[in-house]
Structure 1
Amino acid sequence: MLEGDGIGPEIVPASVLVVDAALAAAGAPPAEWVELPLGASAIGTHGDALPASTLAALEGLDGWLLGPHDSAAYPEPHRSKLNPSGGIRKHFDLFANIRPAKSFDGADAVVPGTDLVIVRENTQGFYADRSTYKGTGEFMPTPDVAIAMGIVTRPAVERIAVEAFELASRRRGRVTIVHKANVLKLTTGLFRDVCREVAARYPQVSVDDFHIDAMTVHLVRRADAFDVIVTENMFGDILSDLAGEIAGSLGIAPSINASHERAMAQAAHGSAPDIAGQDVANPIAMILSSAMLLDWLGARHQDPALARAATLIETAVAGTVRGGVRTRDMGGTAGTRAFAEAVAAGVKR
């Protein structure tokens, strides 16, 4: 567990509380939590927001909880470095960012009934911190000119498309490809075309595609009509925040970042320094991210107890919200810890 910055030291322990309860209820062995330094506190103790000792420790683990970071507030030179989560993603090639958006009964949603998953390619595109082997994809030939490279490769698209179609095969059997091939003909055109090629391996899954600008409109109007959305890095980052709000709040938007060997649970939202330490942050996104991690670990290790623990968490979160226990951003009065305790009690029931 890496608590991170801002509300991280509140929402990560809240998630640990729920995970421990779910593992016990599912008959799984208890977790042995390894606390590792990261973020502003690590700068103070280790001289680096992402210490080498933390990366070395993660090498021996196949799953972890990562709290949010507030890298924009770090002192230089740390502020200009690759942020901690980006550094971890790049180091471990966590190529798949899986971001569900699901509305809850009893909570306001822009589009009730939303239940979709955005599958985001996590290593290429226009994100300079992840798109090159060494250095970044951004450069300035003069002080007045800034250039960014957008990189798309067939192997990277193929592996993320497989993730999307495998997921859709376990859900409602529909994949939507999001691109901008009418303008970025070569890069996002390649993304669309390779996804279409992978689709041919999954005849049981229906496929359609939209341009990114049109997709934002479709989400606002009819998010409940979509199942799995696969897209490139930057488009996926933007769409997942939009989808989280459409489902009810960015505070309920979970995610995992995964390779074939490791997965990192990380809420889609930021560190919210304006409410840090006040016990008002919504821990749902981090709790559900933890459930996603348990489900991923259960599938990787063929361990049904871990998968059951994940289901218990998801069911208990939904039941807690439906029962009227909610944090401030969802119109309730429960604090971070109190909400987590209510979910843990729901898990035990």
Structure 2
Amino acid sequence: MKTITVFKGDGIGPEITDAVIAILQAAKAPLNYEFFNVGAAEYERNGALIPKEAFTSFERTHVLLKSPITTPIGKGFRSLNVTLRNKYDLYANIRPAKSNDAVPTPFSHIDLVTFRENTEDLYVGVEYKINADTIHAIKIITRQASERIIRAAFEYAVAHGRKRVTCVHKANILKMSDGLFLSIFKEIAREYPQIESDDKIVDNTCMQLVMHPENFDIMVTPNLYGDIISDLTSGLIGGLGLLPSMNIGKDYAMFEAVHGSAPDIAGKHIANPTALLWSACMLLEYLGETQTAFAIRSAVDAVLAEKKYLTPDLGGTATTEQYRNAVIAHV
């Protein structure tokens, strides 16, 4: 049995975490769990956003299933997601977007993967107040960080039989920073002649994704563009409630839903746990438990196809618990 750390988050975090853990247990996933409350609510209770014991647990288990955490906009503490990614050098944020025939969208057969560099770019949060009316933000791009995320994208393409890797950038304007990222991409692409490679400016990429998503396979991007583009790809498959992600480093791995904590619907029992559940499936695959992950994915597909127990974001009226129970019944 592998022990993993679980952060229950806040907002809808505890609700969807409870649903996911119940499904994992029903599927007999060979896991033990160490649970911790984190986020704004935990800070109000105990004066720490993430308890010391929670960090200690992750440093012991090396695997974390993390539910959404509220981040204040424009003030307050820094994103805990960013903190965790930097503290444990979780440099690769991998976000697969795959359509499901049971969820109606303008496009079918979407199968895209975004590789987002996770440790630098504007997300370093370095800002300077020049005067009362002027703020400067620093964008950081390094060869080391760029090389490892780009190589990770190509290695994933080889391992999973993918055909193309596209570099997304703004090197036409940011000639030094994004220019470095693009030049490193071209260097590494030459090492993988069996994989097609191309590059696109980020604004053109967004337009092309909503017109011809079939032309994309794997995209690799600096941090900010990856955040924006992966949210866009979630829209192609039915919304953020369906987009999982994993954050991988040399020694640690964190699995989380892409969406936020949705405090406006917290406690209403209508949150969709699918993104976190599919993130848990990625966790199982990371640990080599592919059969259990397949069983859960198949159960979710069956529930989505039946359309009887869909949460409101998917056009249904089911509660989180009704959806959970339907998945468990199929598992």
CA contact (8 A) 2:124 2:140 kept: no
One-letter amino acid of the counterpart of residue 334, structure 1: A
Indicate the SS of the match to 2:121.
coil
| 1:150 Cα deviation after fit | 0.7
Instruction: String of CA shifts for 1:7-58, please: whole Å, max 9, x gaps.
Output: 1011111111222233x2xxx6x31110112112321332011223321221
CA 1:73/1:229 → structure 2, altered by over 3 Å: closer, same or farther?
A: closer
1:342 aligned partner, one-letter code: A
Q: Does 1:150 align with 2:139?
A: yes
Q: Aligned to 1:98, which of 83, 91, 94?
A: 94
Which shifted more, 107-116 or 272-281? 107-116
Contact 1:128–1:138, Cα closer than 8 Å, also in 2 = no
Uncovered stretches (5+) of structure 1, i.e. residues with no partner: 130-136, 299-305
Asked if 1:293 corresponds to 2:247, the answer is no
Aligned partner of 1:152: which letter? I
Q: Deviations over 1:275-326 (max 9, x none)?
A: 111111111111011111111222xxxxxxx122222222222222112132
Q: Do the aligned partners of 2:103 and 2:237 also contact (CA within 8 Å) in 1? A: no
The residue number in structure 2 matching 1:162 is 151
User: Which runs of 5 or more residues in structure 2 are unaligned?
Assistant: 1-5
- Counterpart CA distance in 1 for 2:316 and 2:303 is 12
Give the aligned residue type for 1:286.
L
How many residues of Structure 1 are paired with residues of Structure 2 in the alignment? 324
Distance 1:86 1:248, change over 3 A: same
The one-letter amino acid paired with 1:310 is A
| Aligned equivalents of 1:218, 1:73: Cα separation in 2 | 30
User: What is the distance in 1 between the residues matched to 2:14 and 2:110?
Assistant: 30
1:140 partner SS: strand
TM-score (structure 2 length as normaliser): 0.93
Contact between 2:299 and 2:330, CA under 8 Å: does it hold in 1? yes
Alignment-mate amino acid for residue 325 of structure 2 = E
Match of 2:16 in 1: 11
- Structure 1 residue aligned with 2:296, among 313, 317, 325? 313
Structure 1 position 338, deviation (Å) = 1.7
Give the one of 305, 311, 316 matched to 1:327. 311
* 1:280–1:171 Cα change, 3 Å: farther
TM-score for both structures, normalised by structure 1: 0.89
Aligned-partner Cα distance in 1 for 2:9–2:214: 33
Alpha-carbon distance in 2 for matches of 1:206, 1:315: 31
Q: How does 1:70-81 map to 2 (within 5 A)?
A: 70-72=70-72, 80-81=76-77
Which amino acid is 1:222 matched to?
A: H
Do the aligned residues in 2 keep the contact of 1:168 with 1:227 (CA within 8 Å)? no
CA apart distance, 1:176: 1.0
The CA deviation at 1:146 is: 0.5
Separation in structure 1 between the aligned mates of residue 305 and residue 161 of structure 2, nearest angstrom = 23
Deviation at 1:73, TM superposition (A): 8.0
Deviation at 1:100, TM superposition (A): 1.1
- CA distance in structure 1 between the partners assigned to 2:23 and 2:240 by the alignment: 20
The root-mean-square deviation of aligned C-alpha atoms, in Å, is 1.6
Identity %: 41
Q: Which has the higher strand share?
A: 2
Contact 1:70 1:271 in 2 (8 A): yes
Structure 1 residue runs of 4 or more that deviate by more than 6 Å after TM superposition: none
The residue identity in structure 2 corresponding to 1:45 is R
Is 1:339 matched up with 2:328?
A: no
Matches within 5 A, 1:78-89: 80-89=76-85
Give, in whole Å, the separation in 2 of the partners of 1:120 and 1:340: 30
Aligned-partner Cα distance in 2 for 1:90–1:51: 17
User: CA separation in 2, counterparts of 1:223 and 1:332?
Assistant: 27
Q: Give a deviation string over 1:128-150, Cα, whole Å, max 9, x none.
A: 34xxxxxxx11112222111111
Q: CA offset at residue 187 of structure 1?
A: 0.7
Kept in 1: contact 2:42–2:48 (CA 8 A): yes
Deviates most, 35-44 or 145-154:
35-44
8 Å Cα contact 1:199/1:207 also seen in 2: yes
